[in-house]
Structure 1
Amino acid sequence: MAGPDSVAIDPPGIFIKLELEARGWSQRDLAFILGQTEQQLNPLLSGKRAITPDMARLLGDAFDIAPQFFLNLQGQYDLQNAKEPDPAVKTRAELQLVFPVRDMIRRGWIQDGEASLLQLQMNRFFEVANDEGPSQVAFAAKRTHYNETPPHQLAWVFRVRQLAKQLSVGPFSADKLRSTLPRLRSLMIDPEAVHSAPVLLAECGVRFVVVEVLPNAKIDGVCTWLDDASPVIGMSTLYDRLDNFWFVLRHEIEHVLQGHGKSSIGMIDHLAGDGDSKMDTDEECIANAAAADFCIPAQKMESFYIRKHPYFSERDVIGFASLMGVHPGIVVGQIQKRMKRYDYLRKYQVPVRRHLVTGAVADGWGHTVHAEL
């Protein structure tokens, strides 16, 4: 509908009548020229019937005017009288330019709705009091891109935070977390034992959640803080393998122990052991070293590799894993990376997500965790 300050546009039929007057033609004359009856022409002149492309060409020949002129008249008139669009359309468009809103709605992280409600949900989700953009919440994350955080990754991190706020854990104790590391490592012998990890972390005051990534968000884990004394570890299990799970978990635990991510964003751009480690920040190097040594002490892994390379029998791998007190998949993962042969003894790369979600808050894979915004 036209606004109070806009100029009303007359129906195209008014212009046709003016042209008839200018030429001294009657309505009956125009009907004759067009090869139509007056009854057929009446709705067009009264504005009850729109000018079609065919009619525009007929009128163009009759008045010696370009047919597009008549189509433009009809288009302007129709646009003026069109319904006002739902304000949510503009809001969705503006938000979608910055955030993965459609994917967030699809996953059930926010609900679609009218403009003000949608904006309010986004503000609450990204922990801001206005619509000027997400707060720069500090987090240290392992990811495959090193540049500024892409929207899909940022949304994933805030979903981790959103779910973590709902968890109730005891006071955080770095000393207790360190003393719990041996108990966590004892779980590495059995893939099914990963479900106990979230419980042990909670006892130390660390919130742990699992969230499936959004499309195009290649991120493995994150350490973020709800406040200076409330650490959160989020994991995606993007690579659902036993060795990857324990490496990423220990990596994020080290971030917690070191207090990384409280006041600045620290990230790496590729998985540990892949690519050029020179790109890693000091924080990531510290976490990588702690994670590698946790899985298999570096000196022992190096000694085994040198002694057996290039022929690693399955028996040797199983024996070394038993000696280290870990599942063979942990050793296999190390060998695969060193040899760059990811098909080697792949049968030991067992998935763990199905065991993990039985003991953790897990969002995704067809299941949405209810969370208040």
Structure 2
Amino acid sequence: MTNNLKPARVVAPGRILSRELDARGWTQKDLAKIIKRPPQTINEIIQGTKQITPETAIELSQALGTSPTFWTNLEANYRLFLANKQKDDSDIERRSRLYTVAPVAELIKRQWIKPTEFLDELEKNICDFLGINSPLESPKLAVNFRHNDQLDPEKSSLISWMKRVEYLAKKRKIEKFKLEQLKTAIPNILAYSEKEEQIINLPKLFKDLGIHFIMVPHLNKTYLDGAMFYLEKNPVIALTLRYNRIDYFWFTLMHEIGHIFAGHQGLYLDNMDQLEDNEQESEANQLARDWLIHPDALEGFIQQKKGKFSSQDISDFANIHKRHPGIILGRLHYDKLVPYQNLRKYLVRVNSYLTEYVDR
């Protein structure tokens, strides 16, 4: 705690006040009670949205052991500093706003927007990409935005990824979607899970079913594996191939199909490592598990092998049930029945079969 505060440079009064509270171990509410002001007033001073009046300066000086002129001078100098910089900072503030609403560097790197040295043009490019008229607006998505936040994803990157998926889906002509037709087609979809090269048949199958099938690599700090949402009346399934493995591919795909199958509405952005704990996610998870490996067959296999699974055991079981061995191994890894580092030869990569369909 200091009794004679002398700022060495122009600094926001709220920052000084915040430091003083930290030094004393006080909260904003503590100070509000001491000077008999609403907690909101203290918060607004600290955030810089409320100026320190002479009356408040006197109260702060009494509470913190400083002079009233310290706070009035601090406030005056800071406001003068802001006034002098307002014109110079206008472009900086605009750029800051643009970099807040979108991961600008990554959008340029992926050629989703054109690079430019002109601020007006950059702002227009970003607004056009996000479908907004001004950086002050919130981008509007095809449906309500909901995402997994257990890994603290960057929301602007999530929105940008979704807008790219939405843009690609809108460019495609597709058949009318019928839920009953999808339900009937589940065995046909799963028939392609026996061999990795059969994955190449999926895009056409989904197109015929009236489902947009989009693959866009995830943006940094989104932690995304896949998404499902509706564009008009057609479902959109989008995958990132964040983990380029056959087990992740098929579980993510069937999980998103599970959302459609179960009639879940709204937008689902899913991270398979830490899915949100709610009924709809649990239902989609269970559908994916049961479709890929029948629970009774899996239980019988586990009981028969008594916790010891050889490479041949997994291969034979996979052949009987017409699934790729990597799908079986991925489930055994997930259930911690096989050490994660074992038999990874079965976890083959899938991106080479989908190259022409992955957004570049």
Equivalent residue for 2:124? 120
The answer to whether the Cα contact below 8 Å between 2:227 and 2:268 also exists between their aligned partners in 1 is no
Determine which structure has more spread, i.e. the larger CA radius of gyration: 1
Shift of 1:157: 1.6
Q: Alpha carbons of 1:344 and 1:148: their partners in 2 closer, same or farther (altered >3 Å)?
A: closer
Equivalent residue for 2:97? 94
Distance 2:246 2:145 in 1: 22
Equivalent residue for 2:184? 179
Equivalent residue for 1:344? 342
Shift of 1:312: 0.6
- Give RMSD over aligned pairs: 2.6
Q: Alpha carbons of 1:254 and 1:294: their partners in 2 closer, same or farther (altered >3 Å)?
A: same
Distance 1:144 1:311 in 2: 37
Q: Alpha carbons of 1:357 and 1:177: their partners in 2 closer, same or farther (altered >3 Å)?
A: farther
- Tell me if 1:286 matches 2:289: no
Q: Deviations over 1:177-213 (max 9, x none)?
A: 1222111111111101111111100001111111111
Which residues in structure 2 correspond to 1:16-55 (within 5 Å)? none
- Tell me if 1:242 matches 2:246: yes
Of 162, 185, 194, the match for 1:189: 194
Q: Alpha carbons of 1:266 and 1:211: their partners in 2 closer, same or farther (altered >3 Å)?
A: closer
Q: SS of the counterpart of 1:232?
A: strand
Distance 2:225 2:157 in 1: 13
Amino acid corresponding to residue 232 of structure 1 in structure 2: V
The answer to whether the Cα contact below 8 Å between 2:224 and 2:269 also exists between their aligned partners in 1 is no
Q: Alpha carbons of 1:175 and 1:301: their partners in 2 closer, same or farther (altered >3 Å)?
A: same
Of 229, 233, 240, the match for 1:224: 229
Distance 2:285 2:200 in 1: 23
Distance 2:312 2:156 in 1: 46
Distance 2:251 2:225 in 1: 10
Q: Deviations over 1:205-230 (max 9, x none)?
A: 11111111122221000012222x12
The answer to whether the Cα contact below 8 Å between 1:211 and 1:236 also exists between their aligned partners in 2 is yes
The answer to whether the Cα contact below 8 Å between 2:196 and 2:350 also exists between their aligned partners in 1 is yes
Distance 2:312 2:348 in 1: 18
Equivalent residue for 1:327? 324
Distance 1:346 1:289 in 2: 24
The answer to whether the Cα contact below 8 Å between 1:139 and 1:261 also exists between their aligned partners in 2 is no
- Tell me if 1:211 matches 2:208: no
- Tell me if 1:300 matches 2:300: no
Q: Alpha carbons of 1:235 and 1:158: their partners in 2 closer, same or farther (altered >3 Å)?
A: same
Which residues in structure 2 correspond to 1:62-73 (within 5 Å)? none
Q: Alpha carbons of 1:115 and 1:140: their partners in 2 closer, same or farther (altered >3 Å)?
A: closer
The answer to whether the Cα contact below 8 Å between 2:102 and 2:126 also exists between their aligned partners in 1 is no
The answer to whether the Cα contact below 8 Å between 1:141 and 1:222 also exists between their aligned partners in 2 is no
Q: SS of the counterpart of 1:97?
A: helix
Equivalent residue for 1:251? 255
| 4+ aligned runs moved over 4 Å, structure 1 | 84-90, 139-144, 146-149, 265-268
Q: How many residues of Structure 1 are paired with residues of Structure 2 in the alignment?
A: 272
Structure 2: stretches of 5+ with no match in the other structure: 1-83
Distance 2:268 2:354 in 1: 26
Structure 1: stretches of 5+ with no match in the other structure: 1-79, 369-373
The answer to whether the Cα contact below 8 Å between 1:233 and 1:252 also exists between their aligned partners in 2 is yes
Distance 2:101 2:351 in 1: 31
Greater mean alpha carbon deviation, residues 101-110 or residues 300-309:
300-309
Q: TM-score, normalised by structure 1?
A: 0.66
Greater mean alpha carbon deviation, residues 293-302 or residues 187-196:
293-302
Which residues in structure 2 correspond to 1:104-183 (within 5 Å)? 104-113=107-116, 114-131=118-135, 132-135=137-140, 137-138=142-143, 145=150, 150-183=155-188
Distance 1:139 1:344 in 2: 41
Q: SS of the counterpart of 2:345?
A: helix
The answer to whether the Cα contact below 8 Å between 2:251 and 2:289 also exists between their aligned partners in 1 is yes
Q: Alpha carbons of 1:125 and 1:225: their partners in 2 closer, same or farther (altered >3 Å)?
A: farther
Q: TM-score, normalised by structure 2?
A: 0.69
Q: SS of the counterpart of 1:351?
A: coil
Distance 2:347 2:131 in 1: 38
The answer to whether the Cα contact below 8 Å between 2:244 and 2:349 also exists between their aligned partners in 1 is yes
Distance 1:216 1:341 in 2: 28
Q: Alpha carbons of 1:347 and 1:141: their partners in 2 closer, same or farther (altered >3 Å)?
A: farther
Q: Deviations over 1:109-165 (max 9, x none)?
A: 111233333223322322334432222543687857366762222211211111111
Distance 2:210 2:180 in 1: 11
1 or 2 for the larger relative contact order (CA 8 Å, sep ≥6)?
Answer: 1
